[in-house]
Amino acid sequence: MKILITGGAGFIGSHLVDRLMLHGHEVRVLDDLSAGSTENIERWLDNERFEFVRGDMRDPDVSEEAVEGMEAVFHLAANPEVRIGSQSPELLYETNVGVTHNLLEAVKGSDVKYLVFTSSSTIYGEADVIPTPEDYAPLEPISVYGGAKLAAEALISGYAHTFGFRALIFRLANIIGERSNHGVIYDFINKLRKNPEELEILGDGTQRKSYLHVSDTVEGMLHIFEHFRGSDKTVDFYNLGNDDWVTVLEIAEIVSNEMGLSPEFNFTGGVDGGRGWKGDVKFMRLDIKKAKNTGWRPGLSSYGAVSRTVRELL
């Protein structure tokens, strides 16, 4: 297939590029390099099946040119930082909702048959049901980031039903692994490199969440995409996560052990009952039965994914 990946020089996007190129597809990457790097896709830059386009999707013309000749679009371009929502909500709107709207306007007049979107577990907010299934309601995000992802989901669904393309939406748990440049593991490693004697931990350390390694994420996305193509759904939703979960304190211990350190843990206490920041969902584990029913399984547990990620980042 001819596939466009927005945000394809970023963390998850570049791993998706690797897998699609190895499978023989023609891949075009659109990225403004605000969060990504050409180093992540360097191995493909001279390949005749690969094209890199640097562009800011806040300009509608950029998306219109990028979708030309494409059969499928994997839309991963977004600001990945949940915490920025309390400081710059307008930026999250521009880089999550605004760019999605521009892309949809381009897709509706093109030959694109499939749009795949990476949404987030944050759209569920503080779910009363854990593990949380795809049909959980009401959806009540507690962060601007989660609200922006939910708004993008709604736009995609509306456009797909109206303009005749099909859309697959993945609600992702915390995705970790090589090339990640934000998140709790990345932060802990950098803090301990600066001061091996102590580690500041945002919140009270009891926050408990599910983690999925990026290799399992990409495998799941492509496996379920093929399953979706064989279905009759116009729009479908899948959680991608893990069956277990770990606390922030346990992650701190894993990182410290992998680095051969025994730092003193200093908890900030956090906000709103021990959260790391305003809008931080304290407990998150997704129900992944629907994804597993397609034949996909995560290869690494949350614990295994955290340990492997620490070694990769080190």
pLDDT tens across 161-201, in order?
999 999 999 999 999 999 999 999 999 999 999 999 999 99
Q: In one letter, which amino acid is 54?
A: R
**What confidence score (pLDDT) does residue 84 get?**
58
Is 177-210+243-313 assigned to CATH 3.90.25.10? yes
CA distance 282 to 280: 6
Assigned CATH for 2-175+212-240: 3.40.50.720
- Span 202-239, pLDDT tens digits: 999 999 999 999 999 999 999 999 999 999 999 999 99
Alpha carbon dihedral 193, 196, 276, 37, in 10-degree steps, equals 10
Task: Compute the mean pLDDT over every residue in the chain, rounded to the nearest whole number.
Answer: 96
- Asked whether this chain's domains 2-175+212-240 and 177-210+243-313 adopt the same fold, the reply is no
3-state helix vs strand vs coil in the chain, percent to 5: 40, 20, 40
Domain ranges of the chain: 2-175+212-240, 177-210+243-313
pLDDT, one tens digit per residue, over 103-136 is 999 999 899 999 999 999 999 999 999 999 999 9
- CA 34 to chain CA centroid, Å, is 16
**Cα Dmax for the chain:** 58
Give the model's confidence band at 87: pLDDT under 50 very low, under 70 low, under 90 confident, else very high: low
237's tokens: 């939703």
Q: So what's the pLDDT on residue 80?
A: 75
Instruction: Sort strands 283-284 and 208-209 into parallel, antiparallel or unpaired.
Output: parallel
| N-to-C CA span, the chain | 36
Please state, for a pLDDT cut of 90, what percent of the chain lies above it: 93
* Rounded average pLDDT over 255-274: 96
Q: How confident is the model at residue 82 (pLDDT cuts 50, 70, 90)?
A: low
Give me the pLDDT at residue 85, please. Answer: 46
Mapped onto helix, strand or coil, the DSSP state of residue 57 is: coil
User: For the CA atoms of 79, 80, 86, 88, what is the dihedral angle to 10 degrees?
Assistant: -20
C-alpha to C-alpha distance for 265 and 147, rounded to whole angstroms: 33
C-beta of residue 67 within 8 angstroms of C-beta of residue 61: no
Tens-digit pLDDT profile for residues 166-176: 999 999 999 99
pLDDT at 69 over 80: yes
Residue-level pLDDT at 236? 98
281: which residues sit within 8 A by CB, 6+ positions away?
A: 121, 122, 124, 125, 126, 142, 143, 146, 209, 275
Q: How confident is the model at residue 91 (pLDDT cuts 50, 70, 90)?
A: confident
At 100 the three-state DSSP class reads helix
